[in-house]
Amino acid sequence: MSYPKKRYFGDKGEVSAVYRPGDTAPDVRSGGGGAMHYLSRGTDTDGHYGLYRVDLAAGSGTSTHFHKTMSEAFYLLSGKLRLFDGERWFEAKAGDYAYVPPGGLHAFRNETGELTSFLMLFAPGAPREEYFERLGEVAQMSEEERLDFFLAHDNHFTDTSAGPSGPIAGYRD
């Protein structure tokens, strides 16, 4: 493996870093105190990656799915998160990391009574923001609208009628 092709061709560098204070308000709020923080959108990184901090409310999560165009990685900051790797469920805790390549089945759920925080990285950086912002509308969508919405955002659920909050395929206590 070698370094990627150059993307900057200047000789002196430039002032272009982006800083986001930790106390910046979330970009999206969800029920139960959950929130999504857009740390680096794909548009911010020229499509190389998207990085988000997720504060996942108790009882929240997603059913089994995969992506065709991007990988997804998780790094637990606090709390615990149940993760499904396509074969088994395991409990991740602060400091744990999981990587899911394109096509990899995965699901996650916060089964604790408290908020769980983690970093979620998508590479390359797809425009995930509309997906996060419209998740609350999924329950009101028709079956066809729901499927179109999922496919437009490269979410391929094993149970498309249920979507992100439906029965979790492969889930076993």
Q: Mean pLDDT across the chain, nearest whole number?
A: 89
| Residue 131 backbone dihedrals phi, psi, to 5 degrees | -60, -50
Classify burial at 45, counting beta carbons within 10 Å of its beta carbon; exposed 0-12, middle 13-18, buried 19 or more: middle
DSSP 163: G
State yes or no: pLDDT of 10 exceeds 70: yes
Q: Helix %, strand %, coil % for the chain, to 5?
A: 15, 35, 50
Give 38 or 169, the one with higher predicted confidence: 38
- pLDDT band for 123, please (50, 70, 90 cuts): very high
State yes or no: pLDDT of 162 exceeds 70: no
pLDDT at 30: 84
Collapsing DSSP to helix, strand or coil, 158 comes out as coil
Cis peptide before 124 (omega within 30 of 0): yes
Spatial neighbors of 70 by CB under 8 A, at least 6 apart, are: 102, 122, 123, 124, 126, 154
User: Strands, E, within the chain: which ranges?
Assistant: 28-29, 35-40, 50-56, 61-66, 71-78, 80-84, 89-93, 97-100, 106-109, 116-123, 156-157
- pLDDT band for 105, please (50, 70, 90 cuts): very high
